[in-house]
């Protein structure tokens, strides 16, 4: 394995944030419905010049999820579903900053989608963990959750 510390230099490049996550899937339509109907993203413009089928899903004016039709062992491999998501933060995952995360819990319950949530008191942060139809772990982070009514899986003081 190459030692990258040998090539590390001072740079003027600044990381602004996550641009998008591309997800190859053989479950294109269920994935689109998951991200649109449950998460609340909207399908939008996708360049017609792309050689694959798929969707670009937008948060406001920004396409943050690129669904790409096709097989990819990294997300579609056969595996046992997680019984609990209690150690979800340590798994490979996609984290989205959101507002009103508690609202999705009601939608998840109605759709019988398993989830796990926790509230941090310091710094204040409410997290909801779910899996998409491909087994990709999604973390929804609300850094300004306000008062949260109802049960929460875990509260971290």
Interval 23-45: pLDDT, tens: 988 999 999 999 999 999 999 99
Residue 4 falls within a domain, yes or no?
no
What CATH number did the domain enclosing 145 receive?
3.10.180.10
pLDDT tens figures, 58-86? 999 999 999 999 875 554 443 444 444 55
- Radius of gyration from C-alpha coordinates of the chain: 18
Count the domains in the chain: 2
Percent of the chain at pLDDT exceeding 90? 24
8 occurs within a structural domain = no
Q: Is residue 7 part of a domain?
A: no
> Do 66 and 107 sit in the same domain of this protein?
no
- Full domain range(s) for residue 104: 87-157
* The pLDDT of residue 80: 42
- The answer to whether 103 and 117 have CB atoms below 8 angstroms apart is no
9 occurs within a structural domain: no
Q: List, as one string, the DSSP characters of 68-99.
A: EES--HHHHS--PPPS--TTGGGSSEEEEE-S
Beta sheet of 54-59, edge-to-edge order: 21-25, 62-69, 54-59, 42-44
Is it the case that residue 21 has pLDDT exceeding 60? yes
In a domain, 102, yes or no: yes
User: What integer pLDDT is reported at residue 34 of this predicted model?
Assistant: 95
């Amino acid at each position: 394995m190459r030692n990258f510390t040998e090539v590390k230099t001072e740079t003027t490049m600044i990381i602004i944030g996550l641009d998008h996550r591309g997800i190859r899937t053989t479950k294109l339509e269920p994935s689109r419905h998951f991200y649109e109907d449950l998460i609340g993203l909207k399908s939008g413009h996708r360049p017609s010049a792309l050689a694959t089928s798929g969707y670009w899903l937008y948060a406001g004016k920004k396409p943050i999820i690129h669904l790409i039709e096709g097989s990819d062992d990294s997300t579609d491999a056969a595996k046992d579903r997680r019984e609990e998501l209690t150690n979800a933060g340590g798994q490979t995952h996609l984290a989205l900053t959101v507002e009103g995360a508690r609202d999705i819990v009601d939608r998840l319950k109605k759709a019988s989608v398993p989830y796990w949530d926790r509230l941090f008191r310091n710094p204040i942060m409410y997290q909801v963990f779910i899996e998409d139809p491909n087994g990709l772990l999604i973390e929804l982070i609300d850094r300004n959750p306000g008062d949260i009514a109802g049960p929460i899986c875990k509260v971290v003081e």
